Amino acid sequence: MKTINWNQMSELGLIERINREVLHPPGLAMSRDVGTGVSEKVLVSDDGVFEYAPEINNKPLSKEQISEKLNKL
């Protein structure tokens, strides 16, 4: 079984997707240490709102694209 860290999850676009679709609506956001690839906490918004800046609007990768990238890791 292969394992990946949170930096690799980010490369796959999965942290952004988890944040946008699951965590941001209730005011939460996953964070990670870029240097270590470790996520030690989830941030809780003071005002109940989390959203990415408008310029961060990546198109989510397809399942096939994610699988392809995972095979290369």
Residue 30, classed as helix, strand or coil, is strand
Question: Between 56 and 46, whose confidence is greater?
Answer: 46
| Model pTM above 0.85 | no
Output the pLDDT for position 57: 65
Whether residue 34 has pLDDT greater than 90: yes
Whether residue 43 has pLDDT greater than 90: yes
pLDDT per residue over 9-28, tens digit each? 998 989 989 998 999 999 99
Question: What are the sequence ranges of the domains in the chain?
Answer: 6-72
For residue 28, which phi and psi values (nearest 5 degrees)?
Answer: -115, 160
